Amino acid sequence: MAQYVELNNKFKEVLGEQNLEVNVSMKEHTSFKVGGPADIFVTPRSYEEVREIIRISKENNVPYFIFGNGSNLIVKDGGIRGVVINMNKLNKVSVEEDRVIAQSGALLSAAAVAALEGSLKGMEFAHGIPGSVGGAITMNAGAYNGEISQVIESALVIDDKGKIVRIDKEALELSYRMSAILKYGYVVLEATFKLEKGDYDTIKNRMDDLMRRRREKQPLEYPSAGSTFKRPEGLFAAKLIEDSGLKGTKIGGAEVSEKHSGFIINKKNATAKEILDLIAFVQQVVKEKYQVELSTEVRIVGEDDYNKAN
């Protein structure tokens, strides 16, 4: 990490020493419980600190990666070179009349609970989604016939020129697991969700029902990143995988879940390579059997081998 000494000193001037770590295992920060070390792991406390970290990184030609809750992510065994910007201290959520305003590091489920407490309906689908608000907007997260595009009004972002700007729903270009955030490299700082007044008990019953269904149908007892594959148009990834006879298939500690074949799980101390090899095998078999190409919903980042990367 000698090449980063001067850079780290610059970061410390912005963040303070307590908000910067080096050589941090990403295994401890992802829901899949895999991943090698991040060279630099910083935790900004304000929007301006995020912007400064990005500015310094760009000026020094050092790559940076925006990190939320790590719940839709596979970090490869070689880890992440450069800077990981951990947003989890930017986690405030508030309710103003019929709007929920949430910082990007807040859990999406916390925003849904805030909506419930304000008797606002529309975010029930989000209650069981484990990701952060920033990640949810980036991927236009959704479940049970609901998705972010249905409830978001605007987002505060750092754009590709390094400016903090507010963009409306249309400018977010939200589509199935895609957004302007991904397309143009924006960084989400905050989101405003516009909802409708509803009945507290009705909203809570809906949220409780969706959580019950999740527990019954999804392998929540094992580390995973949720649904591994995107839904092919007009089809269901889980059904294609199950009909291909792949349920329960293992490579090392990775397994296609017996409970829900749309999930690849870390059954027993899997490595990222084992998970990725199993993903590739599933894709190959489904392509051969049904001529359907499954693409991953989970994001894959990092280096295959730490020693080669350094």
177 is catalytic: yes
Choice among 177, 190, 224, 257 that is catalytic? 177
The yes-or-no answer on residue 117 being catalytic is no
Q: Which of these, 288, 287, 301, lies nearest to 232 by C-alpha position?
A: 287
CA atoms within 13 A on the CB side of 126: 32
Beta-sheet strands, E only, within 210-289: 250-251, 254-256, 264-266
Say which of 57, 227, 244, 257 is annotated catalytic.
Answer: 227
The whole-angstrom separation of Cα 154 and Cα 271 is 38
User: Is residue 156 helix, strand or coil?
Assistant: strand
CA distance 195 to 156: 18
Single out the catalytic residue among 124, 147, 255, 297.
Answer: 297
> Is 105 exposed, middle or buried, given 0-12, 13-18 or 19+ CB atoms closer than 10 A?
buried
The question of whether 297 is a catalytic residue gets the answer yes
State residue 180 phi and psi, 5-degree precision. -65, -25
Catalytic positions, written as ranges: 177, 227, 297
